[in-house]
Structure 1
Amino acid sequence: RALGMACLSVVLPVFNAQPWLPLAVRDVMRQRLGEGRSLQLLCIDDASSDGSLEFLLELARLLGDRATVEACEWEEEGGAVEEAKRKAACSESQEELSPPKRIRLGTNGDRESTNPALVNMPLRAAEGEDHPSFLPHEEPEELKDLRLRPVTAEEVAAVCLKEHSLKVLTWKDGVNRGQGAAMTVALSKINTKYLAQMESDDERPNQDAYRIMLEALEVNPSWDGVSCQSTLIGWERPGMRRYVEWQNSCVTAEEMRRARFIEMPALHQTALFVTAAVLEVTGGRYRDGTGRGEELGSDVDVPVDYFFWLTFFHAGKTCGKVPQLLFSWRQHPRQHTRTHGRLSIDNLRKMKVHFLLCPGAPAHGRSVEVWSVGRTLEEWEADLNRYPLPPAKVRSVEWKPGRPLPAKEGEDQDEAVRPVRLFAFGHPKARTRVREQVRDWDDRFDWFVA
């Protein structure tokens, strides 16, 4: 089946993804979409050195005319039109982009990298060359088994459905560029109505997952995307378990939209989107790295997934959720979710402030009240005031649920001058109590942040 006949493209960026990559590829290529439907899997190898590319090339050879391999070139600034669209979403900056930083990778420095995740911010914890890795006493039995007997390309090829196809993309110059660049070049190759993203160490064990999500998207024409609930696999810990439980509780499209300043209401890789909506939101280019002179700030190193969600909702797009566990999110102690500075509380808060205050955002042009306590209150107030387009006034309200409500500042205000209230409370129980006590809550002006 020709690539052009597929209805769904699945983008899978790859960088040193063994031993889990074969499991991710297998789970995508055996998805049952229904009669007359097929998908194309686009794997973008980002200069791997652990055998990931060799696995993909061998799989492509085994699939024969159902697979293609292409070496790609990269333009750092992208097309002028696409870049202009991306900038216009949140700023009017005319500052020229500077050349990317470059570092050397590998024990002999034999590989070059411009990957923002590696060159812009330090890791909060050390990790080895064989990332992701475990200390010996942390390694789950499943991972030990995979290292001793990795899943082979022959085994994956044997379960690939005949209607699906594979496209392997590489960089002509062999430079490691990061997830944003990898996903951007894949996006430029897509000609299907729908697209999804898959992470190279995750799994989709339910073979009907994409079919269920496609059907949900098609019966909800107002949706631009659909996600699903997820479960943890691997190195589980209570904190991440609570995070996923919270994500899974955001089920309706409105709950997801309202939750975006707390955290990501769904993992990016759980979702399936209308391709045209993604092109509109991204301008054909996934953002990855620092602000490069925009209001977001040159010190804010944005993660691809969360920045995409904030841009998606800022653009007025809608995403629903299938209330079923259709995705398995792998956990390990060296994953960037736990170790990278771009996912620090300080960095993520600055990014949220941007999407609260930039033109078209909920608090743009209004005074802001922040309700919280202690360091959280101080840091939100400081970042709001430091933003290049700060609110006319920032009022700090030291309060926590259970205490008497503070006196209002002035009489009931006209809607035109009513402040936006940000309630900065991370625990779900605290947010529930806020809603119970704050009787004048108005979704147009009141938001939870965390």
Structure 2
Amino acid sequence: MYPEISVILPFYNAELTLQRAIDSILKQSFTNFELLLVNNNSTDKSAAIAGQAGQNDSRIVLLDEKIPGVANAMNCGLKNARGRFISRMDADDLAHPEKLQMQYEYLENNPSIDFVGSEVEYVPHIAENKGFRRFVNWANSFHTPEEIALKQFIEIPVINPTIFFRRELYEKYGGCRDGNFPEDYEMQLRYLCHGAKMAKLPEKLLEWHDYSTRLTRTDERYSTEAFFQTKAFYFKQWSEQHNPFHPNIWIWGAGRKTRQRSTFLEKQGLKIEGLIDIKKTKPDAVFYKDLPQSGQLFIVSMVTNTGARQKISAFLKERNYCAGKDFILMG
């Protein structure tokens, strides 16, 4: 009999944290699962730790993926997964004992939802990064499919090691793609682009441990520019469906970085009609208070300064601009 859930845990040189991560899955209150441990060319004791765990619990499946990269390791797990549901786990994190049970019950009770994550508890192991803390607080602040759909172009909407989804998503739309982009964000945007509905449980079901070796710190595929390129590709497809003025857009933000990142949108065929700024002194930008009433243009806000996003959204809503219809936040 096949397991209900396939938990995929790729690892590479994770000897210091792997056992703890494995144990947190084996101690789940929901027990009808398989745990696929995917070794991605480890040179430390990780493989031995995984092998010993496999001898002690028949639910563990040991896999090897020789092609380097977490996307390839994840795909190895997906190809071998037998469960109706797929759950992701990272080798340096810790799952709450009720994680699988709560996410399984949520999807069973909500057939219109395809993909569910959860909030996380942020655990830094280095000097705390305020940017990471802000990201976690942001990611923990919204939960509904509607909120996720509107916030998908700001950052990755569901923190990756919390994801839990129906295997049909993988069968229809593929797994991870390997390239010069953040593979986890690309996969979520691709699923959303195809109409998948994502939700997030309001409970902290994962300890998200932050080490200096985290890929988001060390791999160029997680650079800000790589994120914007990925956003631009999927935003073009989103705009075709939701922007009444497609391909025409207005960009909120006239700074140097915003102008540079706007070129990613132009490369996707979007036409920038003008720029909007909070300063009257920008000669080639419209002063924000001079914007027309809603229904005459579509705005993409690309301002990333702390707190600015909320102020821009609040201002536009005061002017009767509707998120997802008259404007979208990006960046």
CA distance in 2, matches of 1:255, 1:358: 19
Q: Could you say what secondary structure the match of 2:14 adopts?
A: coil
d(CA) in 1 for partners of 2:266 and 2:254? 17
Structure 1: distance between partners of 2:5 and 2:71? 20
- Per the alignment, residue 47 of structure 1 pairs with 41
Deviation of 1:334 after TM superposition, in Å, equals 2.8
Compared CA separation, residues 255 and 62, structure 1 to 2 (3 A): same
What residue in structure 2 maps to residue 424 of structure 1?
302
1:225 is aligned, of 109, 115, 124, to 115
Whether the 8 Å contact between 1:355 and 1:361 is mirrored in structure 2 is no
The answer to whether the aligner puts 1:27 opposite 2:24 as a matched pair is yes
Secondary structure of 2:289's counterpart equals coil
**Matched-pair contact (CA < 8 Å) for 1:356–1:362:** no
Distance 1:344 1:222, change over 3 A: same
- Give the letter for the 2:146 counterpart: E
SS of alignment partner, residue 80 of structure 2: coil
What's 2:64 paired with? 170
For residues 404 and 355 of structure 1, the distance between their equivalents in structure 2, rounded to whole angstroms, comes to 27
User: Which residue of structure 1 aligns with residue 221 of structure 2?
Assistant: 342
Distance in 2, matches of 1:425 and 1:327, equals 30
Q: Which has the larger radius of gyration?
A: 1
For residue 440 of structure 1, what is the aligned residue in structure 2?
320
Partner residue of 1:38? 32
Q: Which of 224, 227, 237 is the equivalent residue of 2:129?
A: 237
The answer for unaligned runs of 5 or more in structure 2 is 281-286
Q: Give yes or no for the alignment of 1:6 onto 2:8.
A: no
Q: Which amino acid aligns with 2:290?
A: P
SS of equivalent residue, structure 1 residue 199 = coil
Pairwise CA RMSD: 2.2
CA distance in 1, matches of 2:301, 2:70: 33
Pick closer, same or farther for the CA change 1:61–1:437 going to 2, 3 Å. Answer: closer
* SS at structure 2 position matched to 1:185: helix
Deviation of the 1:404 alpha carbon: 4.7
- Equivalent residues of 1:42, 1:167 under 8 A apart: yes
Asked whether 1:322 is paired with 2:201, we answer: yes
Separation of aligned partners in 1, 2:153 and 2:203: 24
Paired position in structure 2 for 1:62:
56
Q: Structure 1 residues 338, 396: CA separation in 2 closer, same or farther (over 3 Å shift)?
A: farther
Rounded Cα–Cα distance in structure 2 between residues aligned with 1:180 and 1:320? 23
Letter in structure 1 aligned against 2:249: V
- 1:389-408 map, 5 Å: 390-391=269-270, 393-400=271-278, 404-408=288-292
Shift of residue 259, structure 1, vs aligned partner: 0.7
Q: CA deviation at 1:195?
A: 0.9
With structure 2 as the length reference, what TM-score do the two structures score?
0.89
Aligned counterparts of 1:263 and 1:343: Cα–Cα separation in 2 = 11
Counterpart of 2:283 in structure 1 is: none
Counterpart in 2 of 1:259? 151
| 1:212 matched residue in structure 2 | 102
Shift of the 221–20 alpha-carbon distance from structure 1 to 2, 3 Å rule, reads: same
Q: Give 1:361 shift.
A: 5.5
The residue aligned with 1:181 is: 72
- Checking the alignment, whether the CA contact within 8 Å between 2:250 and 2:276 is kept in structure 1 is no
Report the Cα distance in structure 1 between the residues aligned to 2:107 and 2:170, rounded to whole angstroms.
15
Distance 1:424 1:218 in 2: 37
User: Is this contact kept in 2: 1:366–1:420, CA < 8 A?
Assistant: no
Give the 5 Å matches for 1:51-450: 51-63=45-57, 66=58, 165-171=59-65, 175-204=66-95, 206-233=96-123, 234-235=125-126, 236-282=128-174, 285-289=175-179, 301-358=180-237, 362=242, 365-387=246-268, 390-391=269-270, 393-400=271-278, 404-408=288-292, 419-427=297-305, 429-438=307-316, 439-442=319-322, 443-450=324-331
CA distance in 1, matches of 2:233, 2:298: 15
Segment drifting more, 363-372 vs 185-194 = 363-372
Question: What is the distance in 1 between the residues matched to 2:77 and 2:2?
Answer: 17
Contact 2:249 2:297 in 1 (8 A): yes
Deviations 1:264-313 (A, max 9, x none): 1121211211111232221xx42011xxxxxxxxxxx1122111111111
Q: Which has the higher contact order (CA 8 A, sep 6+)?
A: 1
Using structure 1 for the length normalisation, give the TM-score.
Answer: 0.66
Alpha-carbon distance, 1:52 to partner: 0.7
Aligned residues: 318
Contact 2:113–2:196, Cα closer than 8 Å, also in 1: yes
Identity level (%)? 23
Aligned counterparts of 1:276 and 1:431: Cα–Cα separation in 2: 35
- Looking at structure 2, the residues matched to 404 and 362 of structure 1 have their Cα atoms a distance apart, in angstroms, of 23
Structure 1 window deviating more from structure 2 (264-273 vs 371-380): it is: 371-380
- AA in 2 matched with 1:396: G
Q: Is the 8 A contact 2:122 2:208 kept in 1?
A: yes
| Residue ranges of structure 1 left out of the alignment (5+ in a row) | 67-164, 290-300
